[in-house]
A and B are shown apart, each in its own frame.
Chain A
Amino acid sequence: MATSVEEQLRAVFGHTKTLDELCERVAGLESKVEQVLKRLGELGALRRSFLAPIETLEPEPYEILRPFTVVVMEAEGEFEAAIFDLGIFASGDTEEEAIANLKETLLDTFDRLNELPDTRLGKGPFRQKSLLNKWIRKVEKG
């Protein structure tokens, strides 16, 4: 039969003031560990995540110059995909849809930022454009 830590300690050492204090602290720690485990379980259920390497942007005419990884997270019944370094985010009903939407957002952002002169870009988009041009490039078909 399973017994608590307190019962086991008392069986060996009997009742002393120090032991009472020790049992109290152990009980406190057990309760805290239980709370932490419960919270971890909730967080795990709330946001499961995995990494997906992006190796191609086909059929779109773009080439990946620097392979990158997408973080896909499940949250509130939907999936969110993100490339945090580039500040690119997308959502989808499934992991696949979130990644497909992310690729679309990536290319759309690439095209739009390259369409605008640098003088019309704020800090964030300017940095995004500079990084995007190092990560991907448009392949001219001809």
Chain B
Amino acid sequence: MLTQDDAEAIADKLGCTPYEGRSHKRYELFVDDKLITRFGVRRASKEKGHGHLPGELHITQKECRDLSKCPLSKDEYLQILRERNIL
């Protein structure tokens, strides 16, 4: 299960900008000053599932894990987005 820690690690790796939403914190990824994607972090005292991350980041759950836990770099992530015609 993807967690808040994964979301924070991904935001950190991608160099995302925090944005305060209505009641959830969100991160925004800008590339060349253009917004590419946004994703939310569920605030909670306990670990909450973040199953929405793959959809918001346009990648699979496994790619999300790789992005969070290291094997996938920011450049590799951006390359995936290019291949999927998102970037």
Interface residues of A (CB under 8 A from B): 75-78, 80-82, 87, 89-91, 93, 101, 104-105, 107-109, 112-113, 116, 119-125
A91 B37 Cβ-Cβ under 8 A: no
B50 A91 Cβ-Cβ under 8 A: yes
B21 A108 Cβ-Cβ under 8 A: yes
A112 B19 Cβ-Cβ under 8 A: yes
A87 B55 Cβ-Cβ under 8 A: yes
Q: Which of B8-16, B23-31, B69-77 interfaces with chain A?
A: B23-31
Q: What bracket does the count of chain B residues touching chain A fall in? A: 20 to 34
Beyond contacts A105-B40, A121-B35: 17 other A-B pairs, Cβ-Cβ < 8 A, are A76-B49, A77-B49, A78-B51, A89-B53, A90-B40, A91-B50, A91-B51, A91-B52, A93-B48, A101-B40, A104-B21, A109-B38, A112-B21, A120-B33, A122-B36, A123-B85, A124-B58
Chain B, Cβ-Cβ closest to A60: B22
Q: Say which residue of B19, B21, B52 sits within 8 Å of A80 (CB atoms).
A: B52
7 contacts across the A-B interface (CB closer than 8 A): A77-B1, A80-B52, A87-B58, A105-B21, A120-B30, A120-B34, A121-B34
A122 B49 Cβ-Cβ under 8 A: no
Q: CB-CB < 8 A to B34: which residues of A?
A: 119-122
